[in-house]
A and B are shown apart, each in its own frame.
Chain A
Amino acid sequence: MRLVRLIFGTTEGAVGAVLLSLLVFIALFAPVLSPGDPLDIAGPPLLHPFSMARLPLGTDSLGRDVLAGIIHGTRTSLTVGLAAAFAAIAVGVCVGLAAGFSGGLVDEALMRVVDAFQILPGFLLALALVSVAGASLPVVVLAIALGAWAAPARLMRAQVLSIRERDYVAAARVTGMHPLEIAVKEILPNALPPVLTLAAVIVAAAILTESALSFLGLGDPNIVTWGTMIAEGRNVLRSAPFLSVLPGLALVVTVITVYLVGEGVTQALAEGKAGQVDRQGPTA
């Protein structure tokens, strides 16, 4: 795909894509890279990193392998991040498309709902939902998505409003195309690109929100997450800071990776559009 090539053309995109592939690899092959349950006791507690070859990053206060925790935590973070972003964008796109295309009362009604969700601080909404519905992975994903769908909806609607007036949409109507087909075939594909650049921001925010929820003890207790690891490391911060710092570093690297990919996508899209203009020349 041309877009993929363009992404690799930018420095940010290339670096981000490579790092992301690495993270995805780690997430997919976690059971292979680090067999066994990461919550099992693997050795003596509070072992410092690089002191034993078998446990390169040491152990926590219960003796669990830190490296295993970080590897398996990658799975959680990426799953939550991608799932929440996907849900938020899917819902946002549908609502934005419906609002922009219908206009009138439907548009007004939907936009008031979007307003309502946008006013609520995303993290507090997530906190509230998790406290009420219990802390499990699907609930966490839902909670984050609920806080994040309003922005893509609004952006999508703005795009639709602008594209609706273009001549090619009028041409589609003149051809006798059904309104639904116009919405999906003519408008949606052209409205989507800027909304996709939001995806990176939402993924990053989702990963951080999930970590924050686990840090507060509201995450899924049955799986390993970086947030819980950071939380547990808090108690021994003076004597064993690596317990909080290492998962924290993993978090930073992941979020930066996502941002880099997002930046690559944004630049690639801008380049793509500029390339189109350049091809015509400035009207000679």
Chain B
Amino acid sequence: MTLLCRMLNLRVTYHRQASAALDLSALDITAGERLAVIGESGSGKTTLARALAGLLPETARCEGEIRWTSEMPPQPGRDLGFVFQDPSSSLNPVLTVGEQVAEGARQHLNLSWSQAFRHARDLVASVGIPDPDSALNAYPHQFSGGQRQRLAIAAALSARPSILVADEITSALDMVVQAQLVALLDELVRQAAMTLIFVTHDIALASGLADRLVILKDGRLVECGATAQVLERPQSDYTRALIASHRTLSSRSLLPGSAA
């Protein structure tokens, strides 16, 4: 179990904000693990994801450090792929899908355009898009939200990075598509033995995918541990509350006079 990176006293404050968006004392990430970062809005989970990927705005103030075992922080695209939350803006609307998925391979793997396009075709097929050949020539708006997120994942994986960061990629989609995307991620990450950092507000969704859970609240780390442990024996009250407030189909109805 090699260490991938270690975050020490990481504090991020956005421009013109009084309090820190993220205030982590320490967090380690192991290579090859699936880590879910869970929290509600304002918890700092997106800030953490962006800090790892080097995507924080220039005006943000950063204190503390992220120590990467490889000495250098991962290069976006080549070492680290990032998938964003909003399917309608995660892909460039004026470029074809093929160009966008091939871009990473072309830039970082030094493939020629035709090689890169062949690679893109395989990727598009592997993320479950029907008729990949014509998909390459289509534009993002011709696909549904769920399909666009799949394509965004394909584009992120184009240069075969070893780390994949998925920032709330399912939050804007319906439940059925969410389940499909999680299954897809599970498959892809296993095949390529990547490190996965999966940011979400849905603890149940994360539990099906992650080895380890990190729970954030108001920028601070509240709990961290193996999934089974956190769910069965939560240490903090907040985690307990999060687990309790998750509604399942067997939760009791709120209507008066209902049995269950």
Q: CB within 8 Å of B: which residues of A? A: 275, 278-279, 281-284
Binary interface encoding of chain B residues 159-187 relative to chain A, with 1 for a CB under 8 A from any of its CBs, else 0: 00000000010010000000000000000
Q: Bound complex: CA of A129 vs CA of B21, how far in Å?
A: 60
Query: Counting CB contacts under 8 A, is B50 at the interface?
Result: yes
Residues of B within 8 A of A275 (CB): 16
Residues of B within 8 A of A279 (CB): 17
Q: Bound complex: CA of A214 vs CA of B17, how far in Å?
A: 52
Residues of A within 8 A of B43 (CB): 284
Q: Bound complex: CA of A278 vs CA of B40, how far in Å?
A: 17
Q: Bound complex: CA of A278 vs CA of B15, how far in Å?
A: 8
A-B contact pairs, 23 of them (CB 8 A): A275-B16, A278-B14, A278-B15, A278-B16, A278-B17, A281-B14, A281-B42, A281-B47, A282-B46, A282-B47, A283-B41, A283-B46, A283-B85, A283-B168, A283-B171, A284-B39, A284-B40, A284-B41, A284-B42, A284-B43, A284-B44, A284-B45, A284-B46
Binary interface encoding of chain B residues 31-71 relative to chain A, with 1 for a CB under 8 A from any of its CBs, else 0: 00000000111111111001000000000000000000000
Residues of A within 8 A of B14 (CB): 278, 281
Q: Bound complex: CA of A281 vs CA of B171, how far in Å?
A: 16
Q: Bound complex: CA of A278 vs CA of B46, how far in Å?
A: 13
Residues of A within 8 A of B21 (CB): 281, 284
Q: CB within 8 Å of A: which residues of B? A: 14-17, 21, 39-47, 50, 85, 168, 171
Residues of B within 8 A of A282 (CB): 46-47, 50
Residues B47 and A284 in contact, CB atoms below 8 Å apart: yes
User: Which chain B residue lies CB-closest to A278?
Assistant: B14
Determine which residue in B16, B50, B85 has the highest number of CB atoms from chain A within 10 A of its CB, and name it.
B16
User: Which chain B residue lies CB-closest to A282?
Assistant: B46
Known A281-B47, A284-B44; 13 more pairs at CB < 8 Å: A278-B14, A278-B15, A278-B16, A279-B17, A281-B21, A281-B46, A283-B41, A283-B46, A283-B168, A284-B21, A284-B41, A284-B42, A284-B45
Q: Closest 9 interchain pairs by CB?
A: A284-B41, A282-B46, A284-B42, A284-B43, A284-B46, A278-B14, A284-B45, A281-B21, A283-B46
Q: Bound complex: CA of A284 vs CA of B14, how far in Å?
A: 11
- A3 to B: closest C-beta gap in Å: 16
Q: Bound complex: CA of A279 vs CA of B14, how far in Å?
A: 9
- B176 to A: closest C-beta gap in Å: 22
- A165 to B: closest C-beta gap in Å: 14
Q: Bound complex: CA of A282 vs CA of B17, how far in Å?
A: 13
User: Which chain B residue lies CB-closest to A280?
Assistant: B41
Q: Bound complex: CA of A281 vs CA of B46, how far in Å?
A: 9
Q: Bound complex: CA of A113 vs CA of B129, how far in Å?
A: 47
Q: Bound complex: CA of A283 vs CA of B200, how far in Å?
A: 11
User: Which chain A residue lies CB-closest to B199?
Assistant: A284
Residues of A within 8 A of B85 (CB): 283
- B89 to A: closest C-beta gap in Å: 12
Q: Bound complex: CA of A283 vs CA of B85, how far in Å?
A: 9
Residues of A within 8 A of B171 (CB): 283
- A63 to B: closest C-beta gap in Å: 58
- B58 to A: closest C-beta gap in Å: 12
Q: Bound complex: CA of A283 vs CA of B39, how far in Å?
A: 11
Residues of A within 8 A of B44 (CB): 284
Residues of A within 8 A of B46 (CB): 281-284
Residues of B within 8 A of A284 (CB): 21, 39-47
Q: Bound complex: CA of A284 vs CA of B171, how far in Å?
A: 13
Residues of A within 8 A of B41 (CB): 281, 283-284
Q: Bound complex: CA of A34 vs CA of B85, how far in Å?
A: 64
Q: Bound complex: CA of A283 vs CA of B14, how far in Å?
A: 13
Q: Bound complex: CA of A278 vs CA of B13, how far in Å?
A: 11
Residues of A within 8 A of B39 (CB): 284
- B223 to A: closest C-beta gap in Å: 17
Residues of A within 8 A of B45 (CB): 284
User: Which chain A residue lies CB-closest to B15?
Assistant: A278
Residues of B within 8 A of A278 (CB): 14-17
Residues of A within 8 A of B42 (CB): 281, 284
Residues of B within 8 A of A281 (CB): 14, 21, 41-42, 46-47
- A2 to B: closest C-beta gap in Å: 13
Q: Bound complex: CA of A156 vs CA of B27, how far in Å?
A: 50
Residues of A within 8 A of B15 (CB): 278
User: Which chain A residue lies CB-closest to B55?
Assistant: A282
Q: Bound complex: CA of A275 vs CA of B17, how far in Å?
A: 10
User: Which chain A residue lies CB-closest to B42?
Assistant: A284
Q: Bound complex: CA of A284 vs CA of B85, how far in Å?
A: 12
Q: Bound complex: CA of A80 vs CA of B16, how far in Å?
A: 40
Q: Bound complex: CA of A77 vs CA of B77, how far in Å?
A: 55
Determine which residue in A279, A281, A283, A284 has the highest number of CB atoms from chain B within 10 A of its CB, and name it.
A284
